[in-house]
Chain A
Amino acid sequence: MATQTTEAVLQLDGVTLTAKLGGVPVAALRDLKLSIGQGRVLGVVGESGAGKSMLARLISGLLPGGFTVTSGSMHFAGQDMLAMPQAKRRELLGRKIAFIPQEPLTALNPLWTIADTFNEHLARVGVPSDERWETARKALESVQLPVPADMLKRYPHQLSGGQCQRVLIAMAFASNPALLIADEPTTALDVITQTRVMRMLAEQQRVHSTAVLLITHDLRLAAHVCDDVAVMYAGDLVEYGPARDVLDESRHPYTRALKYATPDLTGPRRRLPVLGQQMPGLSALAGIAGCRFAPRCPSAGSACAAVLHDRVAPNGHRVACSEACEHRRRRCCRLRPSWARNRWRNCARQR
């Protein structure tokens, strides 16, 4: 994908999003630092409850009640979004910031034809009514849907999941947005359809040189289609850096656990290592000051739960893990990497 980096389209600097749970403030998102340049793709990876969708809602200004940003700043194309009046932020939505949801069928009104949906969206974008049909037809053509004019007359239930998702991609790019938020766009689709949809998304992104925030739970998918990858765990950004480094040289124990918990398609078959316990819910987070992964981490030490570390490598690869913790893991994994995956757990058990 394109690699031009000028001014950041979106820049988050130490954003903390706090929720009040029975009077106790809990950081739902903690000290987020990330930026997306023009035409760049940032993948946000994590399991359910990690705060990925909350991040998307924060950026689009659709936070649920009771959640407030308590510190940090968020800039969109140089403007401070948090200081902006609500009306002005709403102006951006759908025009400068587009959104592709996870469930394509529920995102489309079942009583409207695709043309009706396009009509509403293009009206908001400001396309004159006599040009809307042609614009919609061209948009559908650009995502390679067969017979666009015919497609426009159909209802969502007459389309397959992959076709619906392509309609939504076409609609998202119709306003030529600066930022696109794609929330698990291919999770509901099978592998072959996923490949087609992702290729379409990448192509449109290149043509419009849009900055994309791709939310997914698939670390491998993210590493292949994104320039940068951010891994989230319980509201923290635990690892952030160039996609290649994050997948091939993961440093945070959670990223490694995610990677090794997915079965491989090639190489020797190995038993999947399993992490004990679960990701803590919002109410359980209040008591953890330091690393939120520490209770499940095989190489965590006594100091981990007290402070949240933030270490940056020269190439921009950031990891929220202490040096001591990483050292302990490396000592266990000095043998062949293929053994190390399982050995790591074993030596953690022995300690």
Chain B
Amino acid sequence: MGAQPVAELREAALTYTSRSGVFGQRKTSFDAVKPLSLQIFPGEFVGIVGESGSGKTSVSRLLMGIEQPTDGRVMIGGEDLTHGSAERVRRAREQVQIIFQDPQSALNPRRSVERLLTQALEAAGVASLDAKQRLARAQSVQRDVGLPADTLTRFPTQLSGGQKQRVNIGRALCASPQLIVADEIVSGLDVSVQAQILNLLLELRRERQIALLLISHDLSVVRYLCSRVLVMRRGEVVEQGLTEEVFAAPRHPYTRALIDAVPSDHAGTPWPPAELEEAA
């Protein structure tokens, strides 16, 4: 790919320090993300897998600009998030949108779906639109994410889990982002609803060339969506490469352990595996 990456981490690291003891004399530090380089190109779906506490979410927080890296650089669309004027950083950050795991808590229960979508348009700085145009845009977003027409007047509590997650995807799309960070977006959903959301993401890629960073502990979901995968463990990338190659012939024992931990499609293969403990 010769294009410029939509998002890039250059040896970015994130260390949390906490103080304890009298007057905070004792300092303890924790490396959430050890120096990490990552490039995401337009239209590319990249997955990050790892168990809880492996630093997956910290990477997404770096990309979103929620956390400043303690070392290294975070670039969005060629703009340095760590060194730049406030205005340019703000513009660059609009290129990245995030969807969270729990669709319920991400939506204000007192706002209708229409208001939730138009609010996202306002926040995305599409100020030139008047109320009527915004409504039209909200309707087109609602169609794009496959929500029935009558959902616009409804409130989040009246929607199913899958529909709520569609509203969240719609809100992310309002800003016309280059990159969507999806943090465990299907882990709370039923399998049939999960399949709908996954297919919706694939469709969005085809239509809009959106890049996606998928954070998940479900390896089969990562395999379905992503062309490239990073395996993280304790803040470090232990293995990365094309999804097919990594899953077919994992080189790191931790990747092997992660794959073995997923129950297989056939009842004949024994599960749980016996020798998981040493690798993990």
A positions within 8 Å CB-CB of B: 47-48, 160-161, 189-196, 198-199, 202, 217-221, 223-225, 243-244, 247-248, 257-259, 261-267, 269, 271-275, 278
Contacts and interface: CB of A to CB of B under 8 A. Distances in A.
A191 B272 contact: no
Interface of B: 51-52, 160-161, 190-196, 198-199, 217-221, 223-224, 247, 257-268, 270-273, 276-277, 280
A219 B266 CA distance: 11
Contacts of A192: 51, 257-258, 261, 276, 280
A337 to B, nearest CB: 12
B160 A225 contact: no
B263 A263 contact: no
B274 to A, nearest CB: 9
A265 B259 contact: yes
A272 B194 CA distance: 10
A244 B267 contact: yes
B91 to A, nearest CB: 36
Nearest to A49: B190
B268 A244 contact: yes
A161 B51 CA distance: 12
A266 B265 contact: yes
Contact of B192 (A225, A247, A271, A275): A275
B51 to A, nearest CB: 4
B153 to A, nearest CB: 19
Nearest to B274: A199
Contact of A224 (B218, B219, B259, B267): B267
Contacts of A195: 260-261, 272-273, 276
Q: Which of B192, B257, B270 has the most CB of A within 10 A?
A: B192
Nearest to B162: A278
A192 B262 CA distance: 8
B264 A266 contact: yes
29 contacts: A47-B190, A48-B190, A160-B52, A190-B52, A191-B51, A191-B217, A191-B218, A191-B261, A191-B262, A192-B51, A193-B51, A193-B52, A199-B272, A219-B191, A221-B263, A223-B267, A224-B264, A224-B267, A247-B267, A248-B266, A248-B267, A258-B191, A258-B192, A261-B191, A262-B220, A264-B223, A272-B195, A272-B224, A278-B160
